[in-house]
Amino acid sequence: MTPLLPLLLTLALAVPSKDSTLEERRAEIAKEILPLAGRIKRQIESGDVAALLARVPAEGLRCGRELVPKDRVERDLRAKGSWLHAFFFGGPAATAAPGQPASLKELFATAPEVALVVEFRADPSSDTGIPCVDYRAKDTITPGAPLCFVRRAGQWWFTQSLYPC
């Protein structure tokens, strides 16, 4: 199992700010997201589709201006030929540049160290921006897109970033 580096970068992408209070709130959010990202990494390594699906809101996931229903997300996570399954776990739909991992599971299995980057993306529903996690390894192209989250009723849920919209 690849260790996660105890590295936390908080970047303000598309949400510039010189407000120290905003930066402090983002730092607190990033501290909450870091252990969640570690749990998600272990769930991906073990192929735990149910655990990932438990982070998908009942209404599904935003994809641009569209909504992907939760039942489709579940089908795609379980279907070995789907892009979403390939992004997390690998499989026939997984593609990558030569010598690069085709899935997050492969990245975790092959990289000696993986760093977590928490960035905040502009979103009209959040004054801090939405936190997104990117798993990174030296000299490696990370498969897919960062995993973004929204907090509802005290729990972090996936949002918008799981599909290439």
For tokens 């979103």, the residue is 123
What secondary structure letter does DSSP report for 102? S
In angstroms, the Cα distances linking 145 to 17, 18, 34, 101, 159 are 24, 27, 17, 13, 12
Domain that includes residue 82, residue range: 4-159
Digit-by-digit pLDDT tens for the chain (165 residues) are: 555 544 444 443 444 455 679 999 999 999 999 999 999 999 999 999 999 999 999 999 988 788 999 999 999 999 999 989 999 999 887 887 788 899 999 999 999 999 999 999 988 888 899 999 999 999 998 888 899 999 999 999 998 767 777
Instruction: State pTM to two decimals.
Output: 0.84
Residue 88 lies in a domain: yes
Residue 165 lies in a domain: no
Residue 164 lies in a domain: no
What secondary structure letter does DSSP report for 17? -
83-116 b/e with 16+ CB inside 10 Å = b?
bbbbbbbbbebbebeeeebbbbbbbbeebeebbb
Number of domains in the chain: 1
Residue 121 lies in a domain: yes
